[in-house]
Structure 1
Amino acid sequence: MSQGTNFVDYVKISCKSGKGGAGSAYLHRDKKTAMGGPAGGDGARGGHVIVKGNAQLWTLLHLKYRKHVFAGDGGAGGATLKSGKTGRDEILEVPLGTVAKDAETGEILFEITEDGEEQILLPGGKGGLGNAHFKSPTHQTPRYAQPGMPGEEAWRVLELKVLADVGLVGFPNAGKSTLLSVITAAKPEIGDYPFTTIVPNLGIVAYRGHQSFVMADIPGIIEGASEGKGLGFRFLRHIERNAVLLFMVPADTPRSIKEEYDILLAELTAYNPELLQKPKVIAITKTDLLDDELQQEMLAQLPKGIPSIFISSIANKGLMELKDMLWKAING
């Protein structure tokens, strides 16, 4: 199974939390007391539907076929102040970077960012109070108790934003997949046409002294992606989670390097201006065909104030220097 079919970054699930148990209206009885005071226990809350972060997961694939999630109902209160049993919680484990939304309104409910973090997606109904709570000086033997509250039912969306240290940004033929396949263990599909990379490919880049960082090949941007053209928004959201943006511009671009960089930057800015705050590095790719003179000419075209480097993934040129540059940007 290729990573493309393995990677699921969006699921829509029908959730139902458990209803609360009813309180008990029991009146105390024993050998000496035919009709004593109120001694009914409380009903328990219904089960929550909970979302829990799991750092070992990187896709929502395991939830793709779970269309319905039902938590358990709370138990009713018993005699002699005995409380009911709490309803069974239904726990959905998700990768870090998962956002929960209301499917109807699109409202963001919360985001899971830490391993073991738990958030309630749909709360269980409250349990009813037993009759012992309703005793008063004027009413010694209340014969009523509260019913439990109903659970909730709603459609929820879970959406994954990829967490990576470096996000590769560039047009479809910029050499992103080739770079990833050379400097990480990832095996992305490689092709020079738009949307070869239909999902983000993640790879671990080994660095000096047994250190490493995560690189994500984000599907090629086409002009107008921020307006939802092509596969726009779905992919741009992955870029939000990356610490450093590596802009990749091929040496054989028909535009100038600065022009291509400006178009990429404009797309990202239109989608989310905060992306401009992220550290940026520019890599000119496919430079195995350049001579020194041509490289010097290109150097003059590069945007000022942004670290840049000439690389060739095929010829293994400049890759260690690129890793050094990225490491510095990640930890800067």
Structure 2
Amino acid sequence: MKKALIIFLILFAVAGTGLYFGAGVILNIASRAAIKYLSAQIEERGIWIKEADFRSVSFRIPNGATWRKLSLKGKVVLQDLPLSGREFAVTLDEFTAGLEHFRDRLFFIKVKGLKVLLEERLQSDYQNPSQEGDLLTVDYVKMKFQFDVTRPREIIPKVAALAQDLAGLLLNGKCSTFAELSGTLNFTMNEKRVETSFLVERRGNESVLILDQEDLEKISAELEEKLNQVEIGLLSENPLKVPQLLRITSYAQDVAEEAHAKNAQVPEDAYRHVLWSYLLTKEFGPEFASQITAAHERGGIEETSFDHQMDSNNNIIGREYALRGYREAQILQFVMQDPRVIRSTNQVQ
């Protein structure tokens, strides 16, 4: 009996070892196929994938499957996405998929050491002069999903869909899957590196990336005109737009101030608002540009109703200039000559 048991254990160990290494080979092949599938799915959503790879994959009970040293490079090409035109590079130390609760058929994915670097586009003077890019560092990610174990062929597409959702959360700021996540956003503004923390909140059927409002308030102190609370609230819900938006705001303030210093006839406030709205529209489209300029006016409690009327009018004109395809170099001349531009509150009726 003892001899039979020993033989059985040896056979079990050999079979288990074969299964372990066999599972690794199968996982590797399946994972390569999943990368192609995932890349195609992401590209259908307006994100071009240039390169996607991983170093190794292993399977251990009860931890599940773990992929190590993953990398992804690509570009956001769809105009409607907040990072349209930006190239990005994603690296992950580990990506694990495993079982959470067998009875509930509940599985999970965990991510360690995730970083997203958003490259600069070099299209305007307000871009990051340091060329370091905007860096999204994720300390912790966990996403849960249900899976029918009687349909094993669906596991790779399921995990691929979750990875796609995670990419959507990081690049678009939201996804439909329940997610636990926290980290930091690091970027350059006024030649300084600044940082704000973020986490995920569940809102209805979506997981939404939210920036820390206190951090945003501190960062806005770097601007000539600080953000008001309405602006901070809106920006906290659009984290991936924050670096470029703050750089645009600072740039418009500096350019208008410099133009007025050179020529006292230049209406600094009017030029600042027209240029600001113009650049926001070029960068993010008219809808979001309208939202942020409206938030600026709603939260500007220190200004008079005449100031608000003048600024709102000039913001509209700035959006119009952008939609008509005018060049930035033309904006100052238009501000000086366009009769629709309100250059002083004395013109407000």
Pairwise TM-score range, normalised by the shorter structure: under 0.3
More helix by share: 2
What is the TM-score normalised by the length of structure 1? Answer: 0.26
Q: Say which one has the larger Rg.
A: 1
**TM-score where L is the length of structure 2:** 0.25
More strand by share: 2
Relative contact order (C-alpha < 8 Å, sep 6+): which is higher?
1
